Amino acid sequence: MRTIPSHAQPLSALSERFARVRGLSVDLVAPLSDADATVQSMDDASPAKWHLAHTTWFLETFILRDFVAGYTLHDDRFPFLFNSYYEAEGRRHARGRRGMVTRPTLDEVLAYRRHVDAALVAALPYLPDAARELVALGCHHEEQHQELLVTDILHLMSENPLEPAIWPAARKVPVEMPGPIGWIEQAAGIVEIGFDGDGFSFDCEGPRHQALLGRHAIADRTVTNGEWAAFIAAGGYAEPRHWLSDGWAWVKAQGITAPLYWERNGDGWTRFGLDGRRAIDPAAPVTHVSFYEADAYAAWAGARLPTEAEWEAAAAPYDSAGGNQLDRAGAVEPRPSTGAPGFFGDVWEWTGSAYRPYPGFKPVEGAVGEYNGKFMSGQCVLRGGSCATPRGHARASYRNFFYPHQRWQFTGVRLAKDL
């Protein structure tokens, strides 16, 4: 990972950021009962309580344990429970069994957070540069888990037959359906992609390198719910010619007929969200679709998915902190387009690129080097952030990645085409 060197990063700014990030996680779970925070709805998701504890274990392990003399672990059983995938840190509880950890309780996990926060804040002025850089990494790591918190809570509540609303619906201003997709033409040539600048980045975002692009165009907005409903009505989920072989096998095996959380209600479609079940907004970006679905829609529409190099080259001039992103606890969902290309926020955008290392990539040394590189197999890259991404977390070079069948995140579609 790369961060601003701590001597260039005011201690007060790091301290304020730490407090803000840690506070938001607690705010996100405020509506949950202990039972809500304990249950695991599927292997891909984790209990809210586990997210709160894991992000705390990360700070306790890699900063307090390793850099603060005399620090004693809050509970020496917690590393086994709350390590995620760090082989260098030893044995850990199986991922698919996290929902069986009924104890510690939510209150005890929150007490664990308070203990670690107090110890880290007290130690922060005396930490060496390497440790302060890990504090910055810990903040970005927790922001990733905040997005997972939101999406895992949504999936959990969708499994409850009552379909409870966690937050009230936001007040909506009616928005007209956008016009047809416009196209931003891009010339053929060599571009540079990847992170190369001041501030933080994850190791998988570099090294910066050249990529050759053919002449192409990228859509000026993402695909809407209304357009997706037309795909369904045209038999999109029933026509194998639109689908990759693995995607078609997935559709048939899982009985997939619509995006995740969609249900037909009479002549229309509804979706389940953190504000309960409501009619889909036809003008809003479609979300909770897999790579397989995104690729099939693109084929049906006579287009394709952009490569990550095409996406980054097009998005680089835009403000990565703009758009509809997560600012505070509350109901989140994609919003209708405002007319700008909107490369950031609302929905993560599937690309046609495999998640593989850039030329010259080397994982960092130590356990933290397991953060990204070990997952560069069988996954697809997404770009741009979503309505559940904490504002300021994403950037043009940011590489998110999921397996092609996964769709519980706020994932959507932007089209591209060759010229």
- Tell me which range, 68-82, 171-185, 196-210, is most confidently predicted by mean pLDDT: 68-82
pLDDT tier, 170 (very low <50, low <70, confident <90, very high otherwise)? confident
Count the helix, strand and coil residues of the chain and give each as a percent rounded to the nearest 5: 40, 15, 50
Domains (ranges, CATH) in the chain? 6-158 (1.20.120), 183-418 (3.90.1580.10)
Determine the pLDDT at residue 370.
Answer: 65
In whole angstroms, give the CA distance from residue 342 to residue 337: 7
Residue 174 DSSP SS3 = coil
Query: What are 131-156's pLDDT values in tens digits?
Result: 999 999 999 999 999 999 999 999 99
Q: Is the pLDDT of residue 5 over 60?
A: no
Residue 277 DSSP SS3 = strand
Q: Is the pLDDT of residue 354 over 80?
A: yes
Over the chain, what is the mean pLDDT? 94
Across the range 94-116, mean pLDDT stands at 98
Determine the pLDDT at residue 2.
Answer: 47
Give 228's Cβ-side CA count (13 Å radius): 31
Across the range 366-374, mean pLDDT stands at 74
Contact 77, 109 (CB under 8 A): no
Query: What are 6-50's pLDDT values in tens digits?
Result: 445 689 999 999 999 999 999 999 999 999 999 999 999 999 999
Determine the pLDDT at residue 335.
Answer: 94
**Angle (nearest 5°) at CA 351 between 188 and 86:** 125
When comparing pLDDT for 68 and 174, which is higher? 68
Residue 77 DSSP SS3 = coil
Determine the pLDDT at residue 9.
Answer: 64
Q: Is the pLDDT of residue 4 over 70?
A: no
The percentage of the chain sitting over the pLDDT mark of 70, rounded to a whole number, equals 97
CB burial class (10 A; 0-12, 13-18, 19+) of residue 415? buried
Q: Is the pLDDT of residue 159 over 60?
A: yes
Query: What are 200-247's pLDDT values in tens digits?
Result: 999 999 999 999 999 999 999 999 999 999 999 999 999 999 999 999
Across the range 391-418, mean pLDDT stands at 98
40 phi/psi in degrees, rounded to 5: -115, 120
Where helices occur in 190-290 by DSSP H, the ranges are 225-233, 245-254
CA-based nearest residue to 291, from 279, 299, 283: 299
Q: What is the DSSP string of 305-330?
A: PPPHHHHHHHHTTS-TT-SS-B-SSS
In whole angstroms, give the CA distance from residue 306 to residue 148: 25
In whole angstroms, give the CA distance from residue 99 to residue 298: 37
pTM for the whole thing? 0.95
